Each structure stands twice: as C-alpha cells, then as structure tokens.
Chains A and B, each alone.
Chain A
Amino acid sequence: MKIETSKFLKFFRIALIFIFLIVIFIFIFPRPKILGDIRCEKIKETPKYCLFNCSVSLNKCGNFNGRVVVTHSGWAAVHDEILNFTCNTSFLLKLPKRDYNYIMRFGVKEAGGFDSKEEIIFC
C-alpha cells in the first residue's frame, strides 16, 4: 500500500513540475512585437481644447484591428476608439485644454495576441 501511495505521490509531483514548466513557458512565450509607433502633433490650440494630428506607422503592412485610448487619470479614458490600421494611419484628436499630460496608447491585435505602445501628449 505504501509503495502505491508513494507512486501516486511521485506522479503528482511530476504533474506539478509539468504545471510549473507549462505556466512558465506560457508566460515567456514570445509576444507579438510592437508593430510600430505613434506620434501626435498639435495643430491647433484654443483656451478650451487642443487639436492633434496623430499618425500611427506600422512596421508591417496589412490590415490590423487596433484601438487608441487616451487616459486622463489612472484608469479612466477620455477617448477610446477602434481603428483599422494599415501601414500608415492618421486621425484627428480633440482633447480638453487642462494643462495636463494625457497618456495615449495604441494597441494592435495580431495573430490572437496583442501589444500596446504609449505616448504622452500635453494639452
């Protein structure tokens, strides 16, 4: 009986080792690389708002579903937009004038994975 229990225990130990290695493997599995860069240029400023011309340039051409989010405090969005990115995509963005560093992030989904990149814009 003791031998059987010991066999079972060794089996569970091996199972745990596998779980451990699989978890590590899943996490360190290479993620999709950042697909490009985002730049925003202020083209107009009034006492109430700033208008930016933003362009996303991808390292890889094609059609990718992506998202642009601008946060105005820790986890709160003041702008959230779904975009279809090609090699170079540009869009206009109007933000309230608050003398504040907004954080803009863009994310692109590729092959089931995703990544994101951020840019600070002042308005």
Chain B
Amino acid sequence: MSVLAFVLFLQLFFVPGIIIYWKRREISEMIVKIIVSSTLINLFSFSLILLFRNVIDLKLVFLSFIFSLFLSLFIRTLNKTKRVSIKIEKSDLWLLIFLLFSFSVNFALFLYHKSIIGADIGRFGIISHAIFLKGKFETNLKPYDMAEDFFYFPSIILFPPLFELAGIDAVTFLSFLVFFFSSLYGLPVYLISKRLFNGESALASFFFSSFFLNPLINIGFLGVFPYAISIFYFLSFLYFILEKNKDFIAISGSLIGIISFHAYLLFLLVPFLLSLSFLNLQAFSFIVNKKFWIFLLFFSSFLVPYLFKTYKSFLVSFESDKKLDIFMFSTFNRNLPLIQKLQFILFTSPIGFSKNIFLFIGFLVFLFALIKNYKKFYFGTKFLLLSFILSFFLIFASFDDMNFARSIWINWFFYSIGFALIFNDNKLNLLLLLLIAVNKMPPSLFSYFDLRPTYDKGQIPWIVWNSFYDAISFIKYNTSENSTFLIDGGGAGCTGASASYGERIFPLTSRKIFYFSDYCWARYDENEYRKRVSLYREFSINPSDEKLIKKLKEYNITHIFIGPTDVALNKSLFYNSSFYKLIYENRDFKIFEIL
C-alpha cells in the first residue's frame, strides 16, 4: 500500500511536470515548475473525472492518471522552449546540497514528531475520512460529522481521500505534505533573489529562508497548514511574473495553486503587483497577454465542478455569523494597543515566537541591505521596498481579522533576503548553520526538534504526545467498530483542536466521536450544537448523573476519552464511579467504557 502512496505522490507533484519541463529549464526553476504544473494538471484531471464519475476509488485514480498524462503531453507540444542539457554548475551543486539538507532536516522532523499539531489537521482528517467512508465527494458529512454543507479550498479536500485509498491516513499525509513543501520553501525565494539581485545573494537567500526564517514550517507546525502550503505557490507566482520570458502555464499553475490551497493569500499579491506595475510596466504586461488569460481560464475551469458541489457555502466564512464565531473564540489581535500591534506585525512570527529578537535584527538588516545595494540593484531594492511598504499598510489595516493577520509571515521573506544580501558567503553561512544547529535558536528550523508536548491545563499542545499513538492503537485493535467516543475538550470552534486531540480518533481509527463545533466554514444545526455543548458541560460537572448517562447513550456514546490536560472531564470522578470501567490507561490517556 505504501508503494501505491509513493506512486500517487509522484503523480500528484512530479510526473505531469516532468513530462512538460524536463530539460527545458535550469534545475532550480525546473523543480518549481514541475511541482506547480503537476498540481495544476492533477487538480484539473481529478475534478473533471469526479464530475462524470463521483466515486472515490482506485479507478478514479487510474482514470485521472491517464488523463493527466495525455494533458501533459499535449501541453508539452505547446511548450516551444528549447531543450537544454542539464549542466550542474558550482552554484547548482551548492543549491542541491542545501536542498537535500533541507529535505533531510524536514523529513527528520516529520519522523520525530510524526504529525503537525491538531489545530486544523484533525478537522481535515475528519472531512477526508468521512468522504473516504462515503466513497464519494459530497459536502454533507453526516453521520460522521455535524457539518451539513461546507466550502474549503479544493486541494485540501480532494487529495487526502485518495491517499486513504492507498492506506495512508489524512493526518499522516497532510503532515508529510507540510514538511515536503517546507523543504522546498527556499527554492522560489532563491529564484526571486536571483532575478532581483543577479544571483549574488540567491544561495544565501535559500539558506536563510529554509533554515532560519521559514514561515511555512512555522505556520504548518502550529496550525494552519493549507495556508502554509499556499505560501510556496505564492512565492512561485511572484517569481514567474518577475521572470523575463513569461511562462503562462507556470503563472496559471502557481496562481491556481494559491487558490486551491488557501485563497486568502491572493490578497497579499496586490502590493507586489502594484509595485511591479509602478516600477516596470513592461514586466507587468503579462496581465494583458491573451495566452495568460486562456491558460488561466482553461485550468480554472476545474473549479467549476468543485464549485458546483460547494457553491451553497462558497462565501460562508464571510457571513457575519461566522465572523462572530471566530471572535467569540479569539479576540487577541483585535484588542492590541498600537505599539504592540506594530511589534506584532513587524517582529513576531505568525504563530509561536512572539517579538523575536532575530526578526527585529532581520528588520534592521533588511533596511540596511536595501540602502547598501540601492545603486547596484536599482529595480530589486526598489521593488522589495515598495512591496514591503504596501504590504505593511495592507496587513496593518486588516490585522484585526484573524485570517488576514497571518499575512505577517511575508516579513520573513523580506528579512531572509535582507540577511542574504549582507551575509552572502556560502562557506560562512555553513558555519552559521552549524552555530544555529548547535544553539537551536528560534526560529531556526532545528529549534522545532525542541518542541515538546505541554501539560498545562487548557493548552493545546504544539506536539502530540507519543502516548497518544499508543491509545489510538488500543482503540483500533480493542474496541468495537461501532464505538462512539466522548472526548475531553469536547469540540472546538472553526477548525481548532480539542485539548485531548480526541477528534483524531475518527480519522485514525474510524471510530465515531461525539464532537461539536461552531464551524466558521460550514453550515450545521446550531441548535444541535448548543444542545451538545450543554450536555457536555452538565456531564463534566457530574458524570455519574444517570439522566445524563442516558442522554449520552441516546447518542450511542460508549466510551470516554480523557487526555493529559483533562480540562473539563475530571478523571477522578470516573475512577470512583460504578457507571464506568477503566479499559485503558497510559501515562497520559485514560479510556473509560460506559457500563
């Protein structure tokens, strides 16, 4: 099964692109174009086949595989770029070494932590597994989840169930995807830097963006992984529009990549497009090129079948009730005083490290690097400065909105190029890498090895406890397939996680969970949601109340799952009750059966 998953992964992100771009570009550009165009062609193929045959099975994979091969061959004939022999020059060799090292560190992080945290991934695991069990793509997730209709970006919804066919659960697949894209994050930064600064600081840009200021792994690790993956496509698009010879497949592919993983990043494109239009109107001319619009419209048409299935909830996240959902759960960035707001926008990582000293240094180094190189690289420095200023205004204006506040990651991109313009000696950088590796200073990539599960009550841990997988394994092999688990932490707003990570029980074991969430991206029965919250609260006060146990049984709840930071469900009340039997316990997790 894992062989099938490997083949599927190659197909999704490599095969169509290799057919189109092999030996057509230099190595770094070729890799980015291969990935971007493969995503595009596969999304198009899967959506088209799903339109005529809405069955999630291996036949779908096979048919779309064949279709995408034909489509790639057709596009290859349209691609008039001359073939070039692949010569590995000294700079390419350094790049390949850095790239390989970046992949190794990210892969080691994946093996070490097994998965990224649950904030979003557990919820998307639920969606994927519900679609997989239903065997067809539909937006009503009942009876596995309370969502009756939803909209989310297509890649996150369409790809994971395919890997479930290959025996890889969505939590593992999506985690791997984040680490995979994190290892590639430096490539578009390298290309942009090469284009803007004639290659002088390109390798150093890869170095600083991959190993030191890597927002993709930061955002991915700590929650919003679709947004994180979208960053790769965002920066690729930025490079493709800066490229002298415009490649409209790559431009359309990266643009659709942004939309298909997390379209909120489109908003951040405005400052860059505006800067380009001010500084080089000719470079901006792709916007009036017929070819660009033909490719974009052709490939965007894959969105039609997807939108046809999800149109009822297309703008659900923008409805005032759903906005209120978010603000009922977090108002942090909304209530900051001006100075703190500026600190957060300029010197804070999207999630995790607040007011980091290296980001402050990065800001100063970025400004210094622009002044130092102003005459030498007139366009590059002006483009970055103007984009930085416009982005700042946009982020400042939108900072109150949690979804847009994440855009502060863009500073990491600017600062890493700033560092690279000053420290562009590769040998010196290797020494720096060694120092970073030894000291593990955040936000270094190596510092993520030091993330540990927290035992603070009510805190959602960044990392899942190892003992969690032991509990999951017990559930998988020792409980009935008809079991339903009431999980400690209950439910979580939007895509958030519960404190026990119990929502992962469903995608990992197929056992149902009693879960409630005031989705900010889906339609659901709000009365039922409030009924469940109320039942959960009353039950947490007195789990031995017979009336409440009867109500739980009406929901077919058979087990209680309590994690190490038992926030509402008090373990001791279950140990001493005659209504429950402890069937599993390890250091952190307890599972009680309702008698």
Q: Which residues of A contact B (CB under 8 A)?
A: 5-6, 8-10, 12-13, 16-17, 19-20, 23-24, 27-28, 31, 48-49, 67, 69, 71-82, 94-98, 100-101, 105, 107, 109, 112-118
Contacts and interface: CB of A to CB of B under 8 A. Distances in A.
A116 B540 CA distance: 26
Contacts of B497: 74-75
Contacts of B277: 9, 12-13, 16
A16 B387 CA distance: 13
Given A12-B287, A73-B499, A109-B320, A78 B494 contact: no
23 contacts: A13-B274, A13-B277, A13-B278, A16-B274, A19-B270, A20-B271, A27-B398, A48-B541, A48-B573, A72-B490, A73-B492, A74-B460, A75-B330, A76-B491, A76-B499, A77-B490, A80-B530, A81-B530, A94-B537, A94-B538, A101-B458, A114-B320, A117-B331
B459 A75 contact: no
A58 B284 CA distance: 52
B289 to A, nearest CB: 9
Determine which residue in A5, A16, A114 has the highest number of CB atoms from chain B within 10 A of its CB, and name it: A16
Given A69-B328, A78-B490, 7 more contacts: A9-B281, A9-B285, A23-B397, A27-B398, A79-B533, A109-B324, A117-B331
B274 A6 contact: no
A123 B494 CA distance: 26
Given A12-B277, A23-B398, A76 B498 contact: yes
B493 A118 contact: no
A69 B95 CA distance: 51
Contact of A69 (B271, B329, B394, B496): B329
B561 to A, nearest CB: 14
B457 interface: yes
A74 B394 contact: no
Contacts of B565: 73
Contacts of A76: 489-493, 496, 498-499, 567
Nearest to A19: B270
Interface string B368-382: 000000000000000
B393 interface: yes
Nearest to A112: B320
Interface string B560-587: 0000010110100100000000000000
Contacts of B401: 27
Contacts of B570: 96, 98
Contacts of B328: 67, 69, 80, 105, 107, 116
B103 interface: no
Nearest to A4: B288
A116 to B, nearest CB: 5
Contacts of A114: 320, 323-324, 327
A69 B328 CA distance: 6
Contacts of B330: 75
Nearest to A31: B400
Contacts of B278: 13
Contact of B496 (A23, A48, A75, A78): A75
A105 B370 CA distance: 45
Contact of B329 (A71, A100, A117): A71
B284 A12 contact: yes
Nearest to B540: A96
Contacts of A24: 393-394, 397
Nearest to B284: A9
A82 B543 CA distance: 25
Contacts of B385: none
B288 A107 contact: no
Contacts of A8: 288
**5 closest Cβ contacts across the A-B interface?**
A75-B496, A73-B499, A27-B397, A13-B277, A75-B492
Interface string B483-522: 0000001111110111100000000000000001010000
Interface string B264-297: 0001001101100110010011011000000000
A116 B324 contact: yes
A16 B498 CA distance: 41
B518 A77 contact: yes
B542 interface: yes
B250 to A, nearest CB: 20
A71 B273 CA distance: 41
B541 A23 contact: no
Contacts of B267: 23
B568 to A, nearest CB: 5
Contacts of A16: 270, 273-274, 277
Contacts of A20: 270-271, 274, 390, 394
A17 B530 CA distance: 44
B537 A79 contact: yes
Given A24-B397, A75-B494, A48 B489 contact: no
B498 A67 contact: no
Contacts of A112: 320
Contacts of B541: 48-49, 94-97
Interface string B445-468: 000000000000111100000000
A78 B320 contact: no
A39 B533 CA distance: 22
Contacts of A118: 331
Query: Which of B274, B397, B499 counts the most chain A CB atoms within 10 A?
Result: B397
Nearest to A105: B328
Contacts of B568: 72, 78, 96, 98
Nearest to B289: A5
- Of A31, A75, A77, A116, chain B has the most CB atoms within 10 Å of the CB of A75
Contacts of A31: 400
B457 A74 contact: no
